[in-house]
Amino acid sequence: MVHVQFEPALLGTLRDKVVVLTGGATGIGRAAVLQFAEAGSKIVYGDIHNPPLPTTLPESTLKNIHYKHCDTTSYESVLSLFSHAAATLGAIDIVVANAGVANHKDVFAADADITVAPSMREVDVNLTGVIYTARIGLHYLRKNGKGGGDVVLVSSIAGFKESGGLGIYSASKHGVLGLMRGLHGDAINDGIRINVICPWMTKTAMVKGIEDGWAKLGLPENTPEDVARSFLLCASATRGVDAGETHPGARLPFAGKILWIAGGEAYEIEDGIQELEPKWLGEENSRVLKMGQEFLASGGTSWDVDKKA
């Protein structure tokens, strides 16, 4: 684990950058919309809701914020979000797949009615919607050529730890880590950095059921602003490289990382998971796995039999 500390001087690298973010109406996404706009980024957020922005926002921030109705479970809707953003603001630099839902009725509970199919809304929004956003987002970022861009995917503590009562939510959020690992190696060759955010308990509508008990135990909490700041951290970590600047603790290129956000701080955990592999998988298993991975990543290798060299 490495503590990555946000360096505000890097905010300047986000000025005039075009951001597309999903789920920007409330909670963490709303905080991120405001932070990107305050940093001078131009942001289009897609959401199924559109509550008013704070009336106290200065005109210089307000003018950077654009809304487009988008239901991320509809591929056409996500396509429209991106085409609207590109037509309105030009080349897209940063994509944030943040929209998410949690069903707090445990469909695996012993007393649940198994004759009724469970809601798959968590998979639809948290995984399918993120896949749609990543796929279309990569298409737009590739248009920047060597300029590439940043993709931030939002998972959860439930994306890598046991989370009782949240079976489908956990599966969907584990899927987001899988998506990053499935895409990162190819994307970085196109100059596109994909990172994942795994927030721990964050005070939004999503945690109403547990927030009192949590506070009684004095466990760490995030504000939505803390988690939003980690989106900006990912999007800016590599942009100051020419000036020799990054966020303290960030290992460059900042790509393929997983940031756990707890108590308002960001901790990178993926490098440690990868580096400790010989310990948890065994030295020999890790050695041959590396050979297999290198073969799969080498030029000319394809899963597609029609492309077999």
Ligand X SMILES: NC(=O)c1ccc[n+]([C@@H]2O[C@H](COP(=O)([O-])OP(=O)(O)OC[C@H]3O[C@@H](n4cnc5c(N)ncnc54)[C@H](O)[C@@H]3O)[C@@H](O)[C@H]2O)c1
Residue from the set 33, 44, 82, 100 that interacts with ligand X by CB under 6 A: 100
Given the complex with ligand X, which of 202 and 236 has the nearer CB atom?
Answer: 202
Q: Clarify whether 68 is annotated catalytic.
A: no
Question: What burial class does residue 134 get, using C-beta atoms within 10 Å of its C-beta: 0-12 exposed, 13-18 middle, 19+ buried?
Answer: buried
Neighbours of 122 (CB within 10 A): 23
Is residue 175 within the footprint of ligand X (CB under 6 A)? no
Given the complex with ligand X, which of 215 and 281 has the nearer CB atom?
Answer: 215
Neighbours of 66 (CB within 10 A): 19
Is residue 133 within the footprint of ligand X (CB under 6 A)? no
Catalytic residue among 68, 169, 203, 267: 169
Residue from the set 29, 137, 149, 256 that interacts with ligand X by CB under 6 A: 29
Is residue 205 within the footprint of ligand X (CB under 6 A)? yes
Backbone angles phi, psi at 67, to 5 degrees: -115, 140
In the complex, least distance from residue 287 CB atom to ligand X, rounded to whole angstroms:
35
Site string for ligand X, 261-290 (x = CB under 6 A): ------------------------------
Backbone angles phi, psi at 62, to 5 degrees: -55, -40
Considering CB under 6 A, how many residues would be counted as binding ligand X?
Answer: 32
Residue from the set 207, 253, 286, 289 that interacts with ligand X by CB under 6 A: 207
Span interacting with ligand X, options 32-40, 131-139, 154-162, 280-288, rule CB under 6 A: 154-162
In the complex, least distance from residue 307 CB atom to ligand X, rounded to whole angstroms:
34
CA distance 30 to 36: 10
Catalytic residue among 42, 173, 203, 257: 173
Is residue 202 within the footprint of ligand X (CB under 6 A)? yes
Q: Clarify whether 257 is annotated catalytic.
A: no
Span interacting with ligand X, options 9-17, 99-107, 231-239, 295-303, rule CB under 6 A: 99-107
Is residue 98 within the footprint of ligand X (CB under 6 A)? yes
Site for ligand X in 57-86 (CB under 6 A): 70-73
Degrees to nearest 5, angle at CA 153 with 253 and 106: 145
Is residue 226 within the footprint of ligand X (CB under 6 A)? no
Given the complex with ligand X, which of 50 and 301 has the nearer CB atom?
Answer: 50
Is residue 129 within the footprint of ligand X (CB under 6 A)? yes
Is residue 23 within the footprint of ligand X (CB under 6 A)? yes
Residue from the set 10, 11, 21, 22 that interacts with ligand X by CB under 6 A: 22
Query: For binding to ligand X (CB under 6 A), which residues are involved?
Result: 22-23, 25-29, 46-49, 70-73, 98-101, 125, 129, 154, 156-157, 199, 201-202, 204-207, 224
- List the catalytic residues: 169, 173
